[in-house]
Structures are given as C-alpha cells and as structure tokens.
Homo-oligomer: A and B are copies of this chain.
Amino acid sequence: MVYLTRKCEFSAAHYYHNPEFTAEENSRVFGKCSNLNGHGHNYTLEVTVKGEIDPKTGFVMDLKKLKDILNAEVMDAMDHRHLNKEVPEFARAIPTTENIAIAIWQRLEGKLSVAKLHRVRLYEMQDLFVDYYGE
C-alpha cells in the first residue's frame, strides 16, 4: 500500500457570514473575514490517494489522470472564483477551510477508480491548514 500526494494551488475570494447571526455576531465571530466585500487566498491543496503499485508502470495511479480529475472537479470550479457566489456548496455553508476541504473530498471521492482517496489537506495560508479523511 503506497500513498501518493499531489499538490496544486488555486486563488479564490470568500467571506464568512451567517445570515442567522446579527451584524454584531458576524463581526465578533468572524472578525475581518466578515467583510462582505470579500478577501482572498492562494489555497494550496494536497490530495492523497492510496493503492497498490501496478508492476507494469510502477504507479499507484496515472498522474496525468489524477491531474485531469483535479482540474475538472476542483480547479475549474474554484480557481479564480468567488467561493460564496460561484461554488454551489457555499450558497449556504460558510466557505471556511474546514468546509472547503470537505467539499473537495466529496467532489473527488467518486471520481477515482484504481486508487482510493485517503486525505484532502487544504492550506488557507502557510500557517493554517485542515485535513479531512472522509470520516
């Protein structure tokens, strides 16, 4: 069993706002992130798959195929986008690093065949990241 991790990066805008909170609560809970004009990040995504090595290729899975899936499911949907306004998962859920990581897991999970999705790690900044294992 080998674990293979691929990194990619996307740039997106977002803000944090709970419509059930008062303005004061939104400001207190979310601080500067509650600015409705939005701000943004370079998100770094690490996707880890696990599987057996195919002895004919030495690969757990074809990297070109993995990249195509990441492009179709994540990059096209989230890169250079406003997460609150353009990504359906965040029409209601708040696009925190936690929730984005789960959304990426759900987008990728059914798309892999030879290997199994093991972990989604998402960095919002260099000093803050989230891991999700589908549990």
Binding site for B on A (CB under 8 A): 1-9, 11-14, 16, 18, 20-21, 29-33, 35, 37-42, 48, 53, 55-60, 62-64, 79-82, 85-86, 93-99, 101-102, 125-133, 135
Q: Can you list 16 A-B pairs, Cβ within 8 angstroms, ordered by A?
A: A4-B97, A4-B98, A6-B128, A13-B37, A13-B38, A14-B40, A21-B56, A35-B80, A35-B81, A37-B86, A41-B42, A42-B125, A58-B96, A58-B98, A59-B98, A63-B128
Chain A interface, DSSP helix/strand/loop, else mixed: mixed
Name the distance in Å between A102's Cβ and chain B's nearest Cβ: 7
Which of chain B's residues have a CB closer than 8 A to the CB of A127? Answer: 6-8
Which of chain B's residues have a CB closer than 8 A to the CB of A6? Answer: 127-128
Cβ 8 A contact of A32, one of B18, B79, B126: B79
B12–A39 CB distance below 8 A: yes
A40–B39 CB distance below 8 A: yes
The complex places the Cα of A30 from the Cα of B57 at a distance, in Å, of 8
